């Protein structure tokens, strides 16, 4: 397709929308590969102290990839049926590659959601988070009175005013 003889019909073979689809799918694929590397690091416990942040990065990469793949699938689904680009339109059908791209985008969204929920659970179960919320004993941080001593009464002080 990049030979000199095809320069005359290159605009016909590669319309701008098709190049845009290729760019969006390439960006989505790159983000999935970054997500895979982060996922391997999380599984191997390389980042135990900052696990919450890495799970958020993983979720963000998957959601970003979903965004780019969804745009590419929508553009290709809209423009691929044009008679000018692909002759013999009555025999052309969307193939398994288009279906896998759409299903893969949905799986990226679900995976991003699950990693986001896991990051929230990890944040709430972390020791630093529990120390922040259990700093004051017996609920004193909420303005509650402390429990009474075992005798039932507080010691009385004689004060003369």
Question: With 0-12 CB in 10 A as exposed, 13-18 as middle and 19+ as buried, what is 73?
Answer: buried
Question: For residue range 84-120, what is the model confidence (pLDDT) as tens digits?
Answer: 666 666 666 778 889 999 999 999 999 999 999 999 9
Alpha-carbon torsion 73, 78, 80, 81, what sign? positive
Model-level pTM? 0.70
User: First CA to last CA across the chain, in angstroms?
Assistant: 100
Question: For residue range 124-138, what is the model confidence (pLDDT) as tens digits?
Answer: 876 665 555 555 555
d(Cα 106, Cα 110) in Å, to the nearest integer?
A: 6
Phi, psi of 30 (to 5 degrees): -60, -40
């Amino acid at each position: 397709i990049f030979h000199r003889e095809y320069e005359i019909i290159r605009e016909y073979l590669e319309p701008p929308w098709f190049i845009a689809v290729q760019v969006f799918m390439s960006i989505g694929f790159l983000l999935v590969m970054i997500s895979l590397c982060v996922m391997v690091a999380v599984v191997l416990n390389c980042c135990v102290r900052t696990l919450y942040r890495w799970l958020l990065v993983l979720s963000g990469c998957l959601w970003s990839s979903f965004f780019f793949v969804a745009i590419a699938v929508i553009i290709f689904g809209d423009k691929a049926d044009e008679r000018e680009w692909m002759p013999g339109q009555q025999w052309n059908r969307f193939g398994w590659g288009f279906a896998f791209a759409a299903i893969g985008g949905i799986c990226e969204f679900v995976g991003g959601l699950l990693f986001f929920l896991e990051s929230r659970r990890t944040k709430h179960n972390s020791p630093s988070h529990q120390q922040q919320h259990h700093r004051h004993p017996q609920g004193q941080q909420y303005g509650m009175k402390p429990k009474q001593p075992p005798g039932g009464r507080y010691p009385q002080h004689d004060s003369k005013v």
